[in-house]
Structure 1
């Protein structure tokens, strides 16, 4: 596919196959999913064909908005542009006017705005009639297409009326939606259609191979329509914008229509400000540099707040009991658009690494607090973490009575510790400490029935043929125990520190003899009931290399696997058995050749799987073009040679066993934008290449870069830590750090290749006689203590 054109770093454009490509414009209380030709076609599968359109979670408001000028509908866009906080369409001219459309969603409002800009190139004023069609679809985020009850049972027919210059759509159970402009209404009509130039084609299961552009609605659609018309005069060589807002309430409607141009400027400005954190300079990898920058926008687009959640366990769609609790408000990173826009545990736990690396502290803190609040209310404070929480409060999976996913309970304390180390926020740590203790006590007491230390239950891979004890659960449990012990030590909770640290040490000592499969040169995916190894070649085989452990003295230990096994396993994963050859993408397959229950493998490349491999490579100092860079590029490339939206990282990358989203059917696409894949973009750069390793909860910071082979230098400025920032620049053997945050101790250094001998070390030009030299899986880490503020340079000469 052709690469996007970059007008500026803040915009990315594409011009081909626009009707096949989805787009997202999002705010914190609403979002809009359409297509890049300006149309709104049925797509998504949780509620068949209804996951696009305009949403103010937990309520869908409308299928779409369409514009016309005089007697003609605005034609398909000729170019689509992603911006920071907005999207834009270049449109064919009508009535002698040049046309452009801009969509954005103001933060804090349950409303989306669509602006048709009319530019008059001539010397005489032109007066035209602008019309806007809106087709409603009032329905809640749950029930879904296959649940009991299902979406058809829950969705009632909408009605439409005109009131005080606005279209008002109503559904007796779902609520209401409003559509209006900031201009005086000329006239309006309502009725069953009103989809602009789209004919209103309804697709069903029989249309399983149809592209989205063939489907205007799905089988559950019961919306109504309306048209708003406005008289607009465009002066000579000037322009006018007609803004249409679609909102969940009158207050949100009025707020959205109060100077939309100013709100658009404020939205773009806030996104630009967000982008100023973690500004990286990678002269040897500009694509990855741009991916870090655009990843910040992805995470911001996926930041949502939902209110008044009626918490109920729906048992994988088989039940719909009365609510057991009400949560007034949650803020979180949605997993992905359009089918996973709600609160997940395992997704958020991976996304957290990217979030802290790019300075988006507040959202990840609130995400974890929301998971605690839901889980405690749902599971009677057992310590088990709920898996999937819809924005209306329906919990699909993860109650005490269901199997749940053990990995996300094991990962929760590590995520708390991660955020605490980057923010230094002791109050945040304290608020989730008790829950973190209960997480790991629950695993030890309830999910290890044979008492061998290896947890049972589902992990991230949910495939047949696996044994009861999964590799990722074990790996993350060991890491979680170390992280809990670290937090316990900071709180002087000696009993918990001793329990967690002691168990972690025991399991770590037993891990490699139990799980390493010498014949396969990989770790076993799972263990049978008799503790025999089961090797299915799933991506979780990389997790022993992906994790970092925290030692008794607070030192970072990259990788659980010993160096020889870790490097052998990573190298094998780089072969065509486990990774793409570039015909589609170079990323990591879900399941390698000959693996899985059927022995066929699963050559589908997820952005998460690829991230796990990228981080694993970094932990073992494998940063070269055919190692870590291969996998960071695999994730970055689809953002700029887009499958769908330029600048957006999708859930699944074009793969041998699953082609690009742009050619897939209306209900069989993966997410156009997924949060957790940013783990494999931001974290390798900020944490591994730049070597930023904070423990601000204890007042310490280490900066130990490792410049990738074949690259001259790496740098990052305004990296958010605690209440301030740091800048880092590194070339081979030289590291410069500028500190603008409160610290008690600072260590600066560099990472040398394995086997290197240190000749000399200087700090700010003065010789250091006794540097700290530590051999790790990354290589030889050489550090010196430096004053904990200001600018300092360390130079290491090695043999």
Structure 2
């Protein structure tokens, strides 16, 4: 997904009447708060909690084949914008199942939750006392199951039998089309049918939509419990305390103003049902009753099988989920005494990445021309696994998101999901683009390629970044089979990029990351990532022994390197690079977009005549980084999308001016966590780790994840943070919010800490790793353990005290090591010892500063380097 994207935006069923179906009422008096009701049998992890504004906070729980989005008080308002209001509820990656699930006790709906708790793989909601019964709700989505679980934990002070009712409202809806595409969900969404059968509620949607453009389908969701119901009914409503429903209009240019909060939308054609149970509670003892939903695109029998799988052992499923997330937590364990919030952000970012993995079977691949067409599929895949970009409106496969997220994934030791993501991009691209080498941009879980087909004018950067992502994963994992598998796609990708050069100047044309009018044909980010892509392809070719491709890629990289600064540096008091070049004659266009920092973000591998390092010259890099730290580019929480300054745009300049150049576009003071991540990495690439340099951006992203004034969901980093031109998500309508959880921001926390602070730089495929830490100014130590490299791992501890710089590395697994430290400018080495023996370190001037390094032969165990300076 691009950080510049703009928002795009019931029939009655048969009724089975049974006994004990008394109407439930919504509590109108304030809910009675109670202490938490915890079932000791339910696994728990580290947790974050919040009690304020719960009805305005979204929460999301995911598995690899399903997910649930509601609010922190246990409700399910209409949410999301792709199909307005329908992006929340219970989903498989490619199919919505339910709008929500609600519970009542003895004729009263359970009131709004009083506390939300985010754990690793689950969310718990503390609920108010209802008719003398205390309760909490645990939502968990098991991996490997197309369904979700809800555990309702109950406790009464006296032994009694209660009547427990569960409402469910369906909305069987495909992940594509959306609300305003052609066709739209208004055209294709069919009414659901509800039935009470075999102790469950069955919801189905079968047949051909109007016009039959999408083909026949057989969708189903089945809701049930571990208990036997005493009664059941179906009908058009059954949204628990959210009945009668407030309905939002469908979106579109002529849409009327929507209410501030809705329960469903005009797109909805779902059905409802209720299951009733008699539950015995013993005095002072907790009892957890489990409910589940299973879903399928292959009919009700498959959906019922998924429900059985989910309900087979709910306690065990939660235990397995927490255990898997604890294994993830055990990798890349960092200790940052000088910045504990950043350390906490690293910890929760690992969980956020793990929560983003998604899998579907049999996606039907079709090119939908940015929502203007819906042709027959051109092919299918057996399965597709990827890292979802953001919840709830961008849960699908993106190229750009995956490339930035790759850095966070390898730093977290999560190699397998990013490998799968890159394979999915290759597989989809090969089918829909017929082997051209072009990498697709955006693919919904059901296989609709929204953008990135051969006929689309971009995004060029997707293809240019592909070999760089492959090389990154190869260097960290050392997986030669992965290299062998994806190397041909990397070659094709750069051959394709090379063909996008109508004026034959080496800089490719096409759209890039900034989707805004007024840019020239050749975009800065495309140029930057193309140059890096050639260098990475050359490195991959060396590993594969492909001399011809290596010569070709090196030749193109070298020619562009020689011309880059003169071609792209805008200069003057802008102290920045041009955002684009306009043909003819490559006229420089300056617009202050965030991509101005891509030359400082992109790091090239070592190639003949040039050491590994960031693309931008040190002189220009320091100048533009200092410029971007000023108020015209950076706000309280990070980097603006488009900086402020003189402009001919009608809206004028709403902020500071840091240069005299008149731009033709307005500023956009929105702060995307990706933009701040790029700024953070850029600062670190040049050794600028101080609190008023890199720290401004790492702090902004960490705060967005851990400061309750900023986030909606504890521990989850959003897509966009509060900024001068964008209120915080919690202050916006549910149908107009950015993502509550967005993977790409982790690039700005995990990568700076692991790669720049701790200095871990593997080349695992060649059996070596460099560890050259740099402890930020004002701090004395940083450490990390279980940092995954190849088939082994590293523990790293860096300490700076007075004139001494100490680096300790423990290798778990055999590898060659370069151990070192970044020394302060102007210092000279006084002494150096490796494991207590005197050594003469190699001094190398890099973009980070002077690196003092010593080579250690291949092996395992602990090595300690101590360098003193004068």
Per the normalisation by structure 2, the TM-score is 0.89
Name 2:799's counterpart in structure 1.
731
CA shift for structure 1 position 250: 1.1
- The corresponding residue for 1:439 is 493
Q: What residue number does 1:559 align with? A: 614
For the Cα contact (< 8 Å) 2:45–2:322, is it kept in 1?
no
Quote the residue 1:694 is aligned against. Answer: 762
Q: Specify the SS of the correspondent of 2:515.
A: coil
1:336 is displaced (CA, Å) by: 0.4
Note if 1:144 corresponds to 2:189: no
Match of 2:291 among 221, 234, 244: 244
Structure 1 residue 180, shift from structure 2 partner: 0.1
- Aligned pairs for 1:353-368 within 5 A: 353-368=407-422
1: CA distance between counterparts of 2:823 and 2:623?
20
Deviation at 1:556, TM superposition (A): 6.0
Matches within 5 A, 1:678-689: 678-689=746-757
Shift of 1:593: 3.5
Q: Structure 1 residues 174 and 39, CA, compared in 2 at 3 Å: closer, same or farther? A: farther
Asked if residue 163 in structure 1 is aligned to residue 210 in structure 2, the reply is no
CA–CA separation in structure 2 for the residues paired with 1:130 and 1:555 = 70
State the partner residue of 1:452.
505
The residue that corresponds to 2:658 in the other structure is none
- Structure 1 residue 109: Cα displacement: 0.3
3-state SS of the aligned residue for 1:742?
strand
Contact 1:558 1:620 in 2 (8 A): no
Following the alignment from structure 2 to structure 1, what is the Cα–Cα distance between the partners of residues 646 and 221? Answer: 52
Asked if 1:235 corresponds to 2:301, the answer is no
2:644 and 2:66 map into 1 onto residues whose CA distance is 39
On the 8 A contact 1:548/1:556 being kept in 2, the answer is no
Q: Distance in 2 between matches of 1:666 and 1:333?
A: 24
Aligned equivalents of 1:593 and 1:415: distance in 2?
A: 35
What are the residue-to-residue correspondences of 1:704-783 with 2, within 5 Å? 704-732=772-800, 733-743=805-815, 745-769=816-840, 771-783=841-853
- In 2, distance between residues paired with 1:539 and 1:418? 23
Number of residues of Structure 1 aligned to a counterpart in Structure 2:
784
Q: CA–CA distance in 2 between the matches of 1:463 and 1:783? A: 45
Q: 1:485 and 1:756 mapped to 2: Cα distance?
A: 36
* C-alpha separation in 1, matches of 2:507 and 2:639: 29
- Which consecutive unaligned segments of at least 5 residues does structure 2 have? 1-35, 39-43, 207-216, 296-302, 650-662
SS in 2 for 1:740: strand
**C-alpha displacement of 1:633:** 0.5
Provide the C-alpha distance between the structure 1 equivalents of 2:480 and 2:46, rounded to a whole number of angstroms: 35
Q: How many Å separate the matches in 2 of 1:749 and 1:588?
A: 35
Q: Is the 8 A contact 1:113 1:244 kept in 2?
A: yes
CA distance in 1, matches of 2:112, 2:562: 62
Name which of 556, 563, 566 aligns with 1:510: 563
Q: How much has 1:251 moved relative to structure 2?
A: 1.1
Between 1:202-211 and 1:471-480, the stretch displaced more is 202-211
Structure 1 alignment gaps of length 5 or more: none
| Deviation at residue 741 of structure 1 after TM alignment | 2.5
**Counterparts of 1:498 and 1:547, CA distance in 2:** 22
Q: Which residue of 1 aligns with 2:657?
A: none
How far did 1:758 drift?
2.0
Note the 1:622-701 alignment, pairs <5 A. Answer: 622-642=688-708, 643-701=711-769
CA offsets, 1:37-58, max 9 Å, x none?
1100001111111000000121
CA displacement at 1:272 relative to structure 2: 1.1
Is 1:203 matched up with 2:274? no
Distance 1:549 1:718 in 2: 26
Inter-partner Cα distance in structure 2 for 1:399 and 1:106: 34
Cα pair 2:97 2:171 within 8 Å, conserved: yes
The answer to whether 1:526 aligns with 2:573 is no
Distance 1:555 1:537 in 2: 29
**1:590/1:609 contact within 8 Å kept:** no
Q: Which residue of 1 aligns with 2:599?
A: 544
Q: Which residue of 2 aligns with 1:58?
A: 94
Q: Please show how residues 463-478 of structure 1 align to structure 2 within 5 Å.
A: 463-478=516-531
Instruction: Report the Cα offset of residue 557 of structure 1.
Output: 2.6
CA distance, structure 1, for counterparts of residue 602 and residue 439 of structure 2: 20
Q: 1:492 to 1:696 in 2, by over 3 A?
A: same
Secondary structure at the aligned position of 2:222 is classed as strand
1:442 aligned counterpart, secondary structure: helix
Matched, 1:40 2:67: no
d(CA) in 1 for partners of 2:393, 2:437? 28
2:675 aligned with 1:609:
yes
Provide closer, same or farther for how the CA distance between residues 740 and 82 of structure 1 changes in structure 2, counting only shifts above 3 A: same
- Which SS does the other structure have where 1:197 is aligned? helix
Map 1:13-92 → 2, pairs under 5 A: 13-92=49-128
After superposition, give the CA deviation of every residue in 1:353-410 in whole Å (9 maximum; x if it has no partner): 0000001100000000010000010111010001111111110011111112001110
* Cα offset, 1:757, TM superposition: 2.0
Cα 1:441–1:586 change in 2 (3 A) is: closer
